[in-house]
Amino acid sequence: MFSGYVGMQIATFTNTRVAYIAQSSLDEAFKVAFRAGCVMGFSLTSLGLLVLAILMAIYREMGIVDSASLEITKFTAMMEAIAGYGLGGSTVALFARVGGGIYTKAADVGADLCGKMEFDLPEDSPKNPATIADNVGDNVGDIAGMGADLFGSFAESTCAALVISSTKMSHHGDGGCLYYPLVISAFGLLASIVTSFAATNFMSVDQNEKIEKTLKWQLIISTVLLTPLLYVAAVLCLPEQFHVTKLGFGNNTPMDAFGCTLVGLWGGLIIGAQTEYMTSFSYSPVLGLVESCKTGAATNIISGLALGYKSCIIPVFVLAVIIFVCFKLLEYFGIALGAIGMLSNLAISLAIDAYGPISDNAGGIAEMSELGEHVRARTDALDAAGNTTAAIGKGFAIGSAALVSLSLYGAYCTRVFSNEVISIQDKTVFSCLLIGAMLPYWFSAMTMQSVGTAAMDMVQEVRRQL
């Protein structure tokens, strides 16, 4: 909750600054918006890592863990308790994501459908009473909501790895392998710091075409920097031989763990690149969708929906490869490490994601303040790139959530049914799977109804005031 609050505060303060500095320089406006996004990214990941490390230290001091012997039975008690950290983060994420989404879409419908369509007002017109609500909604939905969503994935993947490792792995020395999932995220923070410094000090955004390329390079640079760091983390934290899989004692090495995190890291980059290709205004999918708009709304909806379905193909294949490789190397522990690897450069992906609504709102402030066409043109260029990069953040969120859910299932199986087998042929398991598959549709229907109800109230209020 606190990291979401920090992100929204910084974003709100920065909106005006970006609009102001866009009067004189596109490059400086980009740097201000990106640095504000970095505040969100670094505050969320560092706070999540810090609180988790503090919790583990407190539990050790409370005597749940015997620091002298570091017996495996002592670790399992602590890990059972610490699993609640990820579940608590997901609970808050649910309210922030859904509440923010309903708010921003209702405001969007009121501002666009009513103000623009019925009264022919321009985008973000100061005469439109829903404009402010629309701008606030971007902060709530895309900054607090997305941040909370990815925080839940980050916390749960780490907790799943801790639960599985506490049960399956033999710990030696000072228990460094227990902190291995945290070390991965810590090295990710270091790589993200270097990457963000390069974006704002060595790269210049003096043309509109360079904005999207600069943001895209942030993910590439952070991924390349993290590759050797993940190797160092595995060698430093893990013993030369340990046991996770069923093949026998001592058959796993740090290279297995490095392989799991590496395939997760690069798989996340591929998912991000695919998302960027399918949503960017620079490539053929969106350009083809533009052509379909010329023949009416029906062809636009059909083509857009088909494009959305096609965009899922490559990410699903990538996730399948990640799951296969990770399970082959370290079973469910490997899948949890794959999720952590995918989220290891979370600070940068969140910074890129938060950059979008900051630039969008800067354009709204420029329009409402009547700063001039050249300022609006610059903020629109920043915003156009931000819309694409925001979609990349959603790709990371959904891809990591798939791995996290599987790793949590593995943690559950490891702890609760260590001597039993959960079979899909069991009548209770199969029945509950059907109910679980139905729940997202039920939840989505309620959310859409909420958006419709709030949007109707918003439209009526806009009509009344205009």
3-state SS, 388-414, equals HHHHHHHHHHHHHHHHHHHHHHHHHHH
3-state secondary structure of 231: helix
Radius of gyration of the chain (CA): 23
59 CB neighbour count, 10 Å cutoff: 17
Give the distance, in angstroms, between the CA of residue 90 and the centroid of all CA atoms in the same chain: 13
**How confident is the prediction along the chain (466 residues), in pLDDT tens digits per residue?**
888 888 888 988 999 999 999 999 899 999 999 999 999 889 989 998 999 889 888 877 775 555 555 554 555 677 778 888 888 888 888 888 888 888 888 888 888 888 888 888 887 888 888 888 888 887 887 788 878 878 888 888 888 888 777 766 644 444 567 788 999 999 999 999 999 998 888 888 888 888 888 888 888 999 999 999 999 999 998 888 877 765 545 588 899 999 999 999 999 999 988 988 888 888 899 999 999 999 988 999 999 999 999 998 999 999 999 999 999 998 888 998 999 999 999 899 888 888 888 988 898 898 888 888 889 889 888 888 877 777 777 777 788 888 888 888 877 777 666 556 677 788 888 999 999 999 989 998 999 899 889 988 988 888 898 8
Sorted by where each begins, the domain ranges of the chain are 2-465
Q: How far apart are the first and last CA of the chain?
A: 36
**pTM higher than 0.85:** yes
- Any bridge partners for residue 242, and if so which? 252
Whether the Cβ atoms of residue 182 and residue 138 lie closer than 8 Å to each other:
no
d(CA 179, CA 185): 10
Closest CA to 235 of 192, 187, 165: 187
How many degrees, rounded to 5, is the angle at CA 24 between CA 18 and CA 25?
70
